[in-house]
């Protein structure tokens, strides 16, 4: 069983960004990617007034986190859902709006640590990669059924893999001989197809392909594209949305959503913004924040993190805090 003591990336900074929105009576945070509950535990222990609704599509993660957070009683509510279902989750709980929404995107340490889930390339395991193992296609099904053109596109877009076409052609060739079922055989293929000089840089040669398959299996970019406006719509005046992303496409989607939400609706050449036409939200972070060298040394996953946050300044009627 994985240890629930894993420290999330940029934990202190995330809590400090959320604190101004949550440090008031009755405040509610949606932890949209609950995982093992590290962020939620930090918020519950440091901000006494806050209640957390923890969402996760992974039933195993939800069970472990709920056990970890049981001491906080009714201040924590766990919900099995995908994070683009925020509006439905809040409606089911009778919540009109919340004070914070947090996303820590990508694969969790628990999913990587449990061999049977097939997320990790370090050991041979079934090619599953579903965050919710009860529904959807597996990585094996993607490899065994997708045309070469679709495999190439996925590896290029989601994995930023330079040898995408070569790998896709090899997968199609090899699956005719025998369908792919475990990660070990895929890793062998990647070592064979990626030239030796390229294998010596940029980390493990399977990293990009496994990331691409995971993002396809879990439809991660489409889910995120729907989740961002839903999260922005869900927050009260003074509420904040905080996002940690680990992939350039994810960060781009977050940046686009935040830019659109913080843009004024008056013409750019107008010398002033008339009252009532100020942007409904403001950027809290300048660009994206990154982890420092000490944290990266202690936790290599932090190397690719990009942290962004926005705050709602007024509601749809123009009322401000």
Known binding-site residue numbers for S-adenosyl-L-methionine: 37-39, 56, 83, 104, 111
- Give the residue numbers of the binding site: 37-39, 56, 83, 104, 111
Contacts of 243 (CB under 8 A, 6+ apart): 102, 103, 105, 228, 254, 307, 308, 309
Q: Which residue has the tokens 């995408």?
A: 164
Cβ atoms of 240 and 100 within 8 Å: the answer is yes
| CA atoms of 199 and 248, how far apart (whole Å) | 21
Cβ atoms of 56 and 69 within 8 Å: the answer is no
Within 13 Å of residue 209, how many CA atoms lie on the same side as its CB?
31
Query: In which element (H, E) is residue 265 found?
Result: none
| CA atoms of 59 and 133, how far apart (whole Å) | 8
The token pair at 22 is 């949550």
The residue count of the chain comes to 321
The 3-state DSSP class for residue 233 equals helix
The pair phi, psi for residue 310, each rounded to 5°, is -130, 160
Contacts of 308 (CB under 8 A, 6+ apart): 242, 243, 245, 251, 254, 255, 258, 283, 285, 287, 288, 289
| CA atoms of 288 and 271, how far apart (whole Å) | 28
If 0-12 CB within 10 Å is exposed, 13-18 middle and 19+ buried, where does residue 35 land?
buried
Cβ atoms of 125 and 118 within 8 Å: the answer is yes
The token pair at 107 is 């694969």
């Amino acid at each position: 069983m994985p240890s629930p003591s894993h420290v999330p990336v940029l934990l202190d900074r995330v809590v400090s960004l959320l604190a101004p929105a949550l440090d008031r009576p009755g405040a509610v945070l949606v932890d949209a990617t609950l995982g093992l509950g590290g962020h939620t535990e930090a918020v519950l222990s440091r901000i006494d007034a806050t209640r957390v609704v923890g969402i996760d599509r992974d039933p195993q993660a939800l069970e472990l986190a709920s056990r970890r957070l049981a001491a906080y009683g009714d201040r924590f509510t766990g919900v099995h859902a995908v994070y683009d279902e925020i509006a439905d989750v809040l409606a089911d709980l009778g919540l009109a709006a919340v004070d914070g929404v947090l996303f820590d995107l990508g694969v969790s340490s628990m999913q990587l640590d449990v061999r049977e889930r097939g997320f990790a390339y370090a050991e041979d395991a079934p090619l599953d990669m579903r965050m919710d193992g009860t529904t959807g296609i597996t990585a094996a099904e993607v490899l065994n059924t997708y045309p070469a053109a679709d495999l190439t596109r996925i590896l290029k877009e989601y994995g930023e893999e330079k040898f995408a076409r070569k790998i896709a052609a090899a997968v199609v060739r090899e699956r005719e001989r025998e369908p792919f079922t475990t990660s070990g055989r895929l890793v062998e293929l990647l070592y064979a197809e990626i030239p030796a000089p390229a294998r010596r840089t940029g980390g493990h040669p399977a990293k990009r392909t496994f990331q691409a398959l995971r993002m396809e299996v879990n439809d991660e970019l489409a889910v995120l594209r729907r989740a961002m406006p839903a999260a922005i719509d869900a927050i009260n005046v003074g509420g904040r949305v905080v996002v940690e992303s680990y992939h350039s496409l994810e960060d781009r989607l977050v940046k686009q959503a935040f830019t659109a939400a913080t843009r004024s609706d008056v013409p750019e050449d107008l010398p002033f913004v008339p009252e009532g036409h100020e942007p409904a939200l403001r950027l809290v972070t300048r660009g994206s924040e990154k982890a420092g060298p000490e944290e990266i040394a202690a936790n290599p996953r932090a190397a690719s993190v990009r942290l962004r946050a926005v705050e709602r300044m007024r509601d749809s009627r123009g009322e401000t805090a």
